[in-house]
Structure 1
Amino acid sequence: MLIVIDVQNDAFDESGSNYTESAKKIMDGIAKRIDRAVANEESVIYTKNLYPDFEYDERSAAAIHFDEAIYPEFLERLEIYGDEYTKTFYGIPPEQAKNIYENYKEEVKTNHIIEFIGVETNVCVLANIMVIQNIFPEANMTVNKNLVAASNQDLHHKTLEILSNMNVFIVDDK
């Protein structure tokens, strides 16, 4: 199973409010990994971060909707082959987590691998790994360190180290 975290204009488009060069560097790898998941008939789950109401006090609705949109490089792949779960703030909320559990409990067996890719390593990737790890504690959680990114490289590396101490396998697939 592949879980793709927040591949939205926000981080991947140069006009996005949280654009980071490190996200741009992993873009092709993420697209290829999604394609491989589709070719191998893996389940693909993706998150879409929706901004909370108070954001509308600070910037325009058009800017928010732009940031919330899935980046065009990934849009068609995910809309056709993925299962979208929306969230506000960092992690998938309880009702969405329950839906994931119900939809995938038969697929996720002991030692089944769930791979995470996307952005931001130290925020949404971390938070969503914790959510999924709690609903599927028997699964092997993995993060491909070449397919996650953060705007702060120090926090990116520290988060990978923390995750490795939380029974998450950090892989180095290119």
Structure 2
Amino acid sequence: MLVVIDVQNDTFDERGSNFAEWSKVIEEGVAKRIDQSIENNESIIYTKNLYPDFEYDERSAESIHFDEAIYPKFYTRLEDYGDEYTKTFYGIPPNHAQNIYENYKDEVETNQTIEFIGVETNVCVLANIMVIQNIFPEANITVNKKLVAAASDDLHDKTLEVLSNMNVFVVE
């Protein structure tokens, strides 16, 4: 199973409110990994971060909706082959977590590897790994360190170190 975290315009498009150059570094690898999952008929879960209501006090709805959209390079792949879970803050909310458990428990029991890719390593990737690890404690959780990124290289590296100490396999 592949879990793709927040591959949205907000971080991948130069016009996004949180765009950073590091997203361009992982963009092609993320697309290839999604394609590999599709070719292997592997389940794909992806998160879409929705901005909270208070954001509308600070900027336009148009700007927010642009940022929330899945980046075009990934959109068709994920829309056609993935299972979307929305969140307003960092991690998948409990009701969605329950749905993931119900929808994927048999698959995880037979193939216990769940790989994470996306952004940001130290925020949403970390938070959602913790959610999924609590849903499927017997699963082998992996994070591909070349397919996750953060605005801060230091926090990225520290988060990968913390994850490796939490029974998460950090792979390349």
TM-score (norm 1): 0.98
> Residue by residue, what CA displacement relative to the aligned partner does 1:74-119 show, whole Å, maximum 9, x if unpaired?
0000000000000001000000000000000110117710000000
What CA distance in whole angstroms lies between the structure 2 residues aligned with 1:110 and 1:121?
A: 28
**CA RMSD of superposed structures (Å):** 0.8
Shift of 1:24: 1.1
Q: Which runs of 4+ in 1 moved over 6 A?
A: none
Equivalent position SS for 1:17: coil
Report if aligned partners of 1:111, 1:140 keep a CA contact under 8 Å in 2: no
What CA distance in whole angstroms lies between the structure 2 residues aligned with 1:24 and 1:93?
A: 29
Count residues with an aligned counterpart: 172
Counterpart in the other structure of 1:30: 30
- Give the letter aligned to residue 123 of structure 1: V
Structure 1 segments unaligned to the other structure (5+ residues) = none
Counterpart in the other structure of 1:116: 116
Structure with the higher fraction of residues in helix conformation? 2
TM-score (norm 2): 0.99
- Give the letter aligned to residue 10 of structure 2: D
Structure 2 segments unaligned to the other structure (5+ residues) = none
Identity of aligned residues (%): 77
Report if aligned partners of 1:115, 1:144 keep a CA contact under 8 Å in 2: yes
* Deviates most, 42-51 or 108-117: 108-117
2:136 aligned with 1:166, yes or no? no
- Give the letter aligned to residue 23 of structure 2: A
